[in-house]
């Protein structure tokens, strides 16, 4: 509890290195830091981190001793820049939302919240106006006019981590507090984290948060950025009884086990808990203490991570955050989104002006290669595309300061839905120009990976050697491969070339050979999701999923080391029912779902159509396919109105299941999931007629 204790080297080595916060739980969600193991591991690899922390602690102790009143009259202003990573969804937060988050932070740090009157009476005397403020920068590192926000289109927004920061970039941490916002975090349930001074990797000093948590979590994370621990000290879990044995080292924050609910009258370590503290997890926070304010203000006078330059008079002038700065209009940065990346000819695409860094646009001009209309001055035009090809779109915007152009080359692919491969068709992935085949847009692969700059290590690719030459690592010659390893939750799509379906009254059979490695027999959970589209890849429907041990063919600890032998390839088959084939176009999309697994190879992808096994009676026709089947079985019943019963029996006459249906297209694969290979019988009856058909399960 004593302020000097926070600066003892032994305590500081145990302080969290990285504050990872906010598990979602609705409005009553709570912060959670899981950082001790991260910090300990980094200290093992780089002991200098602990030494740097100790130096900071020594400085803070001495500064507080020499400035017991903390320079009460000086307000420290911290310039802030937001780096918004997005895919043009709701995660592309508005400037107004960012302004509101900054305003809320300032109310929190200046004790100006409307609810400060509800602070527990016991803590009102020590509730602090920290005299720390945050302002969006109005000058960028080059001295140009800015509104304090950068925006970067990247799928890295789906995997918030240090790499996402690299994609978005950072501004000089000696001049700006960098805040990155993303759609989701790499770690499940985590909503953000901040580094303590002196511990961040290069380019990573600052705060990263989920976009929808900036109003609730920014104050807490900025506290960590300014060297505050949690009230219960350096543990990752609040609510533990032994937290009473640990202290945050700040004299006026009572020892506590920590809270995840607003238990205002709790006494957990011998004295009333300061549950309303911003650094707790209670979500009814109202205050910082005077002691916490002293630590943050002392930190802002330290040269560790250049915190002392943030609030300097010269930096406030350089970043446009000084009191005398005269607000001015900035040059616009043109940007736009589009509703679709690929369509069939005859379809339309909607465009939306996403220009930022300005409050006004006086003139705009769109140019649409291959579109009707070819140009437009509307803010959000809709464009028709009748011819196939790859097309470029351009937007020019202008305000009273300057103009700016955004050009996206080949941003839209339009397919002629009557062009493509005929079935039966087999893809061996032998093209040397993968993902392009010959430049014919109807017959090209398309790869949509985790990150635009994805490489052979983490995306779909034909395996290559060190000299970048394709190698034969398939069942038949070459193959496609993806390595799922270090970071989970990545979903990478491989769009196969278009197929022309001449007869959409028959189901489409699809098979592929796969070789997949697992790291161990009980931890393999990667998945292959097979989607299909009858609109040239525009809209997708799930066809089948193969996952877990049902996919694995071998075990290998290191993804880079796995090269399948010929006997490690297995074949899977699934069916797309005729009722799902609408029109002539069909496109298969293979999505790898990375769950910290290993390497997957695919080869010999085949498409074909067969007449299904069928039996006709007076009033209805029943069809079952594929027959034989393995893990997917479709029953189509035409001509029956209302409810009917489907029963399954084995060769001994044992009933496996009996269910009532009313729909005429039924997927029955799960009904036989636990049955061995062999002959079975399906019986369909509606109280008037009954028919039985033989089916065969085999691998």
Q: What is the pLDDT of residue 292?
A: 95
Q: With contact defined as beta carbons under 8 Å apart, do 82 and 181 qualify?
A: yes
Report pLDDT for 428.
93
Residue found under tokens 């240090």: 162
Of the chain, the percentage scoring pLDDT greater than 90 comes to 48
Q: Is the pLDDT of residue 408 over 90?
A: yes
pLDDT of 200 reads 85
What's the whole-number average pLDDT of the chain? 84
Distance CA 617, CA 324 (A): 89
Assigned token pair, 68: 């017991």
pLDDT digits (tens, 9 = 90+) for 511-563: 999 998 887 655 567 889 999 999 999 999 888 888 877 788 887 766 677 89
pLDDT for 356: 98
Query: What is the average pLDDT across 48-74?
Result: 82
Judge whether residue 304 has pLDDT over 50. Answer: yes
Q: What is the pLDDT of residue 393?
A: 98
What integer is the mean pLDDT of 398-414?
Answer: 95
- Determine the Cα–Cα distance for residues 659 and 646; give it in Å rounded to an integer: 6
Determine the pLDDT at residue 162: 85
Measured CA to CA, the distance from residue 282 to residue 261 in angstroms comes to: 4
The candidate with the shortest Cα–Cα distance to 194, out of 162, 150, 148, 151, is: 162
Average pLDDT of the segment spanning 124-146: 97
Q: Which residues contact 89 (CB under 8 A, 6 or more apart)?
A: 183
> Which residues in 120-200 belong to E strands, given as ranges?
132-136, 149-153, 177-182, 192-195
In 551-671, beta strands by DSSP E: 554-555, 570-576, 585-594, 599-608, 613-616, 621-625, 634-638, 644-650, 655-661, 665-667
pLDDT at 437: 62
Where are the alpha helices (H) located in 459-539, listed in sequence order? none
The partner residues of 350 in beta bridges, in order of sequence, read 382
Residue 36 has pLDDT above 50, yes or no: no
Task: With a cut of 90, say whether residue 676 has pLDDT above it.
Answer: no
Residues in the chain: 699
Q: What is the mean pLDDT of residues 585-603?
A: 88
Round to whole Å and give the CA distance between 540 and 578.
16
Q: Is the pLDDT of residue 28 over 70?
A: no
Spatial separation of the C-alpha atoms in residues 517 and 538, rounded to whole Å? 32
Task: Name 337's bridge partners.
Answer: 352
Pair 251, 80: CB distance under 8 Å:
no
Q: Which residues contact 303 (CB under 8 A, 6 or more apart)?
A: 309
CA atoms within 13 A on the CB side of 331: 11
Kindly state the helix (H) or strand (E) to which residue 518 belongs, with its residue range.
Answer: strand 508-518
Window from 7-21, 25-39, 193-207, 305-319 with minimum mean pLDDT: 7-21
Can you name the residues that pair with 510 across neighbouring β-strands? 574, 607
Query: Which residues are within 8 A (CB) of 321 and not within 5 positions of it... i.e. 6 or more apart?
Result: 77, 79, 135, 136, 137, 138
Pairing of strands 446-448, 644-650: unpaired
DSSP state of 85: E
**DSSP codes joined into one string, 408-431:** EEEEEEEE-TT-SEESSEEE----
65: three-class secondary structure by DSSP: helix
Domains of the chain: 3-319 (3.40.390.10), 336-415 (2.60.40.10), 421-608 (2.60.120.200), 613-697 (2.60.40.3080)
pLDDT of res. 8? 33
Tokens 């409050």 locate to 359
18 touches 195 (CB < 8 A) = yes
Q: Kindly report the pTM of this predicted structure.
A: 0.80
Burial 523-546 (b: 16+ CB within 10 A, else e): ebbbbbbbbbbbbbbbebeebbbb
pLDDT, position 293: 95
- Where does residue 408 rank: exposed (0-12), middle (13-18), buried (19+ CB within 10 A)? middle
Nearest to 352 by CA among 363, 340, 338: 338
* Pair of tokens at residue 475: 């069942």
**Residue 159, pLDDT score:** 79
Angle at 315 between CA 314 and CA 319, to 5 degrees: 125
At residue 384, the pLDDT reads: 98
| DSSP bridge pairs for 342 | 413
> At residue 70, does pLDDT exceed 70?
no
Give yes or no for residue 596 having a pLDDT over 90.
Answer: no
On whether the CB atoms of residues 399 and 360 are closer than 8 A, the answer is yes
Give the pLDDT mean for 157-184: 92
pLDDT at 523: 59
Q: What are 611-664's pLDDT values in tens digits?
A: 765 544 455 677 887 877 777 788 888 777 777 888 888 777 677 888 888 887
pLDDT at 196 over 90: no
Question: What number of helices (H) and strands (E) belong to the chain?
Answer: 9, 36
Check pLDDT > 90 for residue 434: no
Any idea which residue has 């490690």 for tokens? 568
- Tracing tokens 């109202």 back to the chain, one arrives at 286
Report the candidate in 196, 178, 207 with the shortest Cα–Cα distance to residue 52.
196
Lowest mean pLDDT among 45-49, 163-167, 264-268, 686-690: 686-690
């Amino acid at each position: 509890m004593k302020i000097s204790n926070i600066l003892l080297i032994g305590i500081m080595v145990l302080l969290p290195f990285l504050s990872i916060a906010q598990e979602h739980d609705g409005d009553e969600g709570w912060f959670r830091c899981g950082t001790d193991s991260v910090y300990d591991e980094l200290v093992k690899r780089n002991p200098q981190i602990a030494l740097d922390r100790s130096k900071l602690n020594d400085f803070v102790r001495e500064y507080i001793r020499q400035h017991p009143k903390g320079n009460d009259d000086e307000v420290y202003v911290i310039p802030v820049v937001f780096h918004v990573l997005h895919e043009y969804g709701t995660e592309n937060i508005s400037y107004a939302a960012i302004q509101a988050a900054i305003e809320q932070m300032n109310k929190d740090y200046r004790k100006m919240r409307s609810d400060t009157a509800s602070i527990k009476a016991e803590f009102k005397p020590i509730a602090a106006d920290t005299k720390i403020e945050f302002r969006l920068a109005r000058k960028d590192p080059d001295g140009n006019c800015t509104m304090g926000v950068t925006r970067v289109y990247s799928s890295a927004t789906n995997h918030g981590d240090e790499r996402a920061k690299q994609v978005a970039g950072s501004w000089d941490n000696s001049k700006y507090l960098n805040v990155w916002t993303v759609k989701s975090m790499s770690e499940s349930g985590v909503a953000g984290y901040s580094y303590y001074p002196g511990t961040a990797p290069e380019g990573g000093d600052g705060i990263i948060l989920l976009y929808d948590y900036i109003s609730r979590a920014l104050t807490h994370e900025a506290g960590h950025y300014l060297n505050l621990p949690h009230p219960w000290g350096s543990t990752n879990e609040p609510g533990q009884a032994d937290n009473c044995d640990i202290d945050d080292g700040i004299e006026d924050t009572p020892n506590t086990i920590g809270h995840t609910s607003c238990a205002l009258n709790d006494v957990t370590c011998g004295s009333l808990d300061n549950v309303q503290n911003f650094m707790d997890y209670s979500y009814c926070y109202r205050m910082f203490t005077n002691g916490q304010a002293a630590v943050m203000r002392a930190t802002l006078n330290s040269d560790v991570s250049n915190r002392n330059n943030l609030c300097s008079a010269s930096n406030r002038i350089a970043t446009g955050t000084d009191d005398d700065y005269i607000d001015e209009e900035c040059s616009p940065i043109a940007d736009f989104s589009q509703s679709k990346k690929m369509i069939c000819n005859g379809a339309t695409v909607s465009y939306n002006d996403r220009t930022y860094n300005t409050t006004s646009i006086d003139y705009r001009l769109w140019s649409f290669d291959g579109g009707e209309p070819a140009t437009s001055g509307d803010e959000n035009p809709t464009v028709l595309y009748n011819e196939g090809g790859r097309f470029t779109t351009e937007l020019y915007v202008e305000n009273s300061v300057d103009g700016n152009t955004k050009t996206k080359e080949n941003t839209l692919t339009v397919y002629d839905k009557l062009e493509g491969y005929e079935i039966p068709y087999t893809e061996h992935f032998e093209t040397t120009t993968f993902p392009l085949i010959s430049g014919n847009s109807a017959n090209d692969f398309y790869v949509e990976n985790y990150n635009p700059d994805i490489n052979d290590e983490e995306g779909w690719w034909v395996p290559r050697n060190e000299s970048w030459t394709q190698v034969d690592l398939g069942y038949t010659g070459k193959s496609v491969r993806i390595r799922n390893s270090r970071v989970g939750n990545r979903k990478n799509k491989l769009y196969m070339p278009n197929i022309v379906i001449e007869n959409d009254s028959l189901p489409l059979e699809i098979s592929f050979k796969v070789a997949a490695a697992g790291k161990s027999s009980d931890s393999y959970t990667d998945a292959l999701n097979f989607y299909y589209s009858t609109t040239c890849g525009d809209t997708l429907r799930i066809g089948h999923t193969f996952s877990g041990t049902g996919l694995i063919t071998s075990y290998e600890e290191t993804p880079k080391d796995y090269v399948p032998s010929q006997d490690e390839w297995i074949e899977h088959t699934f069916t797309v029912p005729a009722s799902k084939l609408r029109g002539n176009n069909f496109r298969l999309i293979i999505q790898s779902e990375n769950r910290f697994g290993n390497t997957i190879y695919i080869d010999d992808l085949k498409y074909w159509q067969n007449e299904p096994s069928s039996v006709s009676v007076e009033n209805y026709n029943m069809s079952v396919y594929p027959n034989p089947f393995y893990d997917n079985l479709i029953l189509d019943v035409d001509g029956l109105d209302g409810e009917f019963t489907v029963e399954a029996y084995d060769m001994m006459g044992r009933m496996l299941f009996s269910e009532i249906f009313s729909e005429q297209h039924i997927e029955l694969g799960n009904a036989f999931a636990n049955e061995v290979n062999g002959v079975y019988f399906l019986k369909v009856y509606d109280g008037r007629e009954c028919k039985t058909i033989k089916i065969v399960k085999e691998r």
